Amino acid sequence: QVALANELPGSEVIVVSNREPYIHNRKDDGTIQVQRPASGLVSALEPVTRACGGTWIAHGSGSADRDSVDADDRVGVPPAKPTYTLRRLWLTDEEQDGYYYGFANEGLWPLCHIAFVRPIFRESDWRFYRSVNEKFAEAVVAEAKRPDPIVLIQDYHLALAPRMIRDRLPNATIITFWHIPWPNSETFGICPWKEEIIDGLLGSSILGFHTQFHCNNFIETVDRFMESRIDRESDSISLAGHETFVRPYPISIDWPPAALEGQAPVPETRTTVRERLGLSPDIKLGVGIERFDYTKGILDRMRGVDAFLTEYPDWKGRFCFAQVAAPTRAKLASYRNLQAEAEALADEINARHGADGWEPIKLLARHHEPDEVFELFRAADLCIVSSLHDGMNLVAKEFVASRDDEQGVLVLSAFAGASRELSEALIVNPYDAYAMGQVIHRALAMDSGEQRERMKVMREQVEAKNVYRWAGQMLLDAARLRKKERIMRLI
Ligand code: F6P
C-alpha cells in the first residue's frame, strides 16, 4: 500500500486470473454459500488486492455466480466489507473445456511440472485458449479507466493475454506472474505452439517466476526458439522493439495470516481435532493438505508412511497420517484416477498395518475452508509437503505461519520452490519412499527444543518475506520502469 501510494500515485491496478477469489455455490436448500477456493494463487493475491484496491477480472466459476451479481457482472469483495471490485467473465462449457481443462490443464500443466504425466496438445483446445485469452484482454481494456494501468496477469491460463493487451494499451505496465515451474528448453520444445506462448508472455513489461532457476529456464527457452536480443546482465529480453524484464519474486502468504484469527490455543486444538478424527488423545498426528493433484506427491507420501511403519513397527497404533485432499479438475481422467488410486492405496496400507480399530492413514477427500486447515496444522506434530515439482507451495508456508507455539516439524520436498527458502525443514526426495519413511521417523523423534529452533527461523523467514513484500517488490520494479519510460519519452 505504501509502495503504491508513494511510488505509483494515482495508478490504476487491474488483476487478471482464471480463478476467482470467492465462489458462490447454490446449496440444495437454494441458499448461496460463499466459498474460498483451494488455490495458492488466491491465498497470495487476495490479501494484496484487498490492500491495494482496484479491479480483479476472473472467470465466474460457481454454479450460482451468475445470479449473485448485478447486471454488469461486477461485485464488491470481500463480501462483508468490499475494498475492490470483482469483475466476472463468463465462459461457455465448450470454452472452459478447451481453454481450462484442455490446453491449460492437460497441456501446459503436465508440460511445466514434469511429473511424468504426458501432456496432451489438441488444435481445438489451442483455438479456445487463444479466444478466451482474447476475452480476458478485451475485459482489461473495457475496465481500464486510464491508458496506462498496471495490469497484474496471473498464471499459465493467460500466456497470450500480455501481448494482446500490449497491442491495445501500449502504455500499460504489464506484470505477468507464472505460478508454476518453467521447464528446461528441451521440455518446453514439446509444445506445438511454443513460439506463440513465448511471444504472448513477452508482451509483458515484467515477467515473474518464483525462483531464479525458472527465470533461467525461461531465458534459455527464448534463446533457443526466438529471434530476440537477450541482455544477460539485466536479465531482459527485447523482441520487436519491446523489452521484458525477467525476475524472480518468491510468492508468500499474508502475515499474520487471517486464518489464525479466532484459533483456539494449540493444546485445546490438539484435543478437539483428535476427537473429531476418532483418534486417541496421545496419538502423534501427521497432516498433508492439498488439492487432489498428481504433482503433489500424495501417493508418494502414503508410500513413505508405509515404509516408516514397515521399518519401525513399534509406531503402529501411535501415529496417524491425515491427508486432506480437495477434489479438483475432476472432469479430467488423470485427476479422477488419482483419487481412486489414493483411496485404494490408503485401504491397502491400512489393511497391512492397521489393527484393533487403529488405521495409519485417514483420507479426507473434501474441500476444507482456511480456518479448518489451520486447525489441522495446529493439531499436528508434523506436516508433509511432498510435491514432485512445485513452483513454490504455500501449504508449507501456511503450516509454519500457523505454529505460533513454535512447535511441529515440516517435511518438505526438495522439488518445491519453498525448499529454497525453508531450509530448516526436513528436506526429502519424495520419489524415495524409504528416505521419506526415515524422515518421518526423524520428525517424530525430534525434541521440542530442536523443533522450536527450526520453526523460529522458518517463521522469521515467512514473516519477513510475506506476500506484501512479494507484491511490493513487483510494484516497486514497475514504478522504476514507469519512471524510466517517462524520461525516455521526454528525450
Ligand atoms: O499453482 C498454480 C495454481 O494456479 C495455484 O494458484 C493453485 O494452487 C492451482 O493452480 C489452482 O488450480 P485451479 O485454479 O485449477 O483450481
Query: Beta strands 32-35 and 23-26: pairing type?
Result: antiparallel
Confidence of residue 75 (pLDDT cuts 50, 70, 90): confident
**Do residues 419 and 412 lie in contact, with contact meaning Cβ atoms separated by under 8 Å?**
yes
- 231 forms bridges with which residues in the sheet? 236
Say what the pLDDT of residue 230 is.
98
Rounded Cα–Cα distance for residues 194 and 5 (Å): 38
Question: How far apart are the CA of 219 and the centre of ligand 1, in A?
Answer: 24
**Do residues 370 and 326 lie in contact, with contact meaning Cβ atoms separated by under 8 Å?**
no
Find the mean pLDDT for residues 264-283.
Answer: 97
Question: How far apart are the CA of 284 and the centre of ligand 1, in A?
Answer: 31
pLDDT tens digit sequence for 84-119: 999 999 999 999 999 999 999 999 999 999 999 999
Task: Specify the ligand 1 atom closest to the Cα of 19.
Answer: 14
Question: How far apart are the CA of 40 and the centre of ligand 1, in A?
Answer: 6
List of residues 6+ apart from 423 with CB closer than 8 A = none
What angle (nearest 5°) sits at the alpha carbon of residue 100, between those of residues 94 and 105? 130
Task: Specify the ligand 1 atom closest to the Cα of 18.
Answer: 14
Report residues whose beta carbon is within 6 angstroms of any ligand 1 atom: 19, 39-41, 155, 179-180, 328-329, 391
- Is 145 buried (19+), middle (13-18) or exposed (0-12) by CB count in 10 A? exposed
Task: Specify the ligand 1 atom closest to the Cα of 42.
Answer: 6
Find the mean pLDDT for residues 331-357.
Answer: 96
Question: How far apart are the CA of 301 and the centre of ligand 1, in A?
Answer: 21
Question: How far apart are the CA of 89 and the centre of ligand 1, in A?
Answer: 18
Nearest protein Cα to ligand 1, atom 9? 39
The x, y and z cell numbers of residue 449, run together, are 527444543
Question: How far apart are the CA of 327 and the centre of ligand 1, in A?
Answer: 12
pLDDT tens digit sequence for 169-214: 999 999 999 999 999 999 999 999 999 999 999 999 999 999 999 9
Say what the pLDDT of residue 63 is.
58
List of residues 6+ apart from 196 with CB closer than 8 A = 130, 160
Nearest protein Cα to ligand 1, atom 6? 41
Rounded Cα–Cα distance for residues 437 and 329 (Å): 30
Say what the pLDDT of residue 5 is.
60
Nearest protein Cα to ligand 1, atom 4? 41
pLDDT tens digit sequence for 358-388: 999 999 999 999 999 999 999 999 999 999 9
pLDDT value at 409 more than 70: yes
Q: What is the ipTM of this complex?
A: 0.95
Rounded Cα–Cα distance for residues 182 and 203 (Å): 17
Confidence of residue 27 (pLDDT cuts 50, 70, 90): confident
pLDDT value at 414 more than 60: yes
Question: How far apart are the CA of 115 and the centre of ligand 1, in A?
Answer: 16
For residues 267 and 22, which has the higher predicted lDDT (pLDDT)? Answer: 267
pLDDT value at 71 more than 60: no
pLDDT value at 1 more than 60: no
Rounded Cα–Cα distance for residues 247 and 221 (Å): 15
- The b-or-e profile of 240-271 (16+ CB within 10 A means b, else e) is eeeebbbbbbbbbbbbebbbbeebeebeebbe
Cα–Cα nearest to 38, from 340, 262, 293, 370: 370
Nearest protein Cα to ligand 1, atom 11? 39
Question: How far apart are the CA of 106 and the centre of ligand 1, in A?
Answer: 13
Question: How far apart are the CA of 352 and the centre of ligand 1, in A?
Answer: 34
Task: Specify the ligand 1 atom closest to the Cα of 104.
Answer: 15
pLDDT value at 70 more than 50: no
Q: For cell 506436516, name the residue.
A: 383
Question: How far apart are the CA of 39 and the centre of ligand 1, in A?
Answer: 5
Say what the pLDDT of residue 65 is.
59
pLDDT value at 285 more than 50: yes
pLDDT value at 66 more than 80: no
pLDDT value at 44 more than 90: no
Torsion, CA 382, CA 387, CA 391, CA 397, rounded to 10: -10
pLDDT above 90 as % of the chain: 86
Q: Which of 100, 179, 395 to mutate to test the pocket of ligand 1 (most atoms within 8 A of CB)?
A: 179
pLDDT value at 356 more than 60: yes
Task: Specify the ligand 1 atom closest to the Cα of 41.
Answer: 6
Q: For cell 513487483, name the residue.
A: 474
Nearest protein Cα to ligand 1, atom 15? 329
Rounded Cα–Cα distance for residues 272 and 10 (Å): 49
**Do residues 259 and 370 lie in contact, with contact meaning Cβ atoms separated by under 8 Å?**
yes
Q: Which of 15, 41, 253, 335 to mutate to test the pocket of ligand 1 (most atoms within 8 A of CB)?
A: 41
Q: What are the φ and ψ backbone dihedral angles of 400, each rounded to 5 degrees?
A: -60, -45
Long-range contacts of 216-221 (CB under 8 A, 24+ apart): 217/181, 217/182, 217/183, 217/184, 217/185, 217/188, 218/178, 218/182, 218/246, 219/246, 220/184, 220/185, 221/182, 221/184, 221/185, 221/188, 221/189, 221/194
SS3 234: coil
- 287 forms bridges with which residues in the sheet? 322, 383
Say what the pLDDT of residue 272 is.
98
Rounded Cα–Cα distance for residues 76 and 70 (Å): 10
pLDDT value at 419 more than 50: yes
Q: What's the gap between Cα 246 and its chain centre?
A: 20
Nearest protein Cα to ligand 1, atom 12? 39
Rounded Cα–Cα distance for residues 365 and 153 (Å): 31
Task: Specify the ligand 1 atom closest to the Cα of 100.
Answer: 15
Rounded Cα–Cα distance for residues 163 and 197 (Å): 10
Question: How far apart are the CA of 258 and the centre of ligand 1, in A?
Answer: 20
Of 66-75, 302-311, 349-358, least confident by mean pLDDT is 66-75
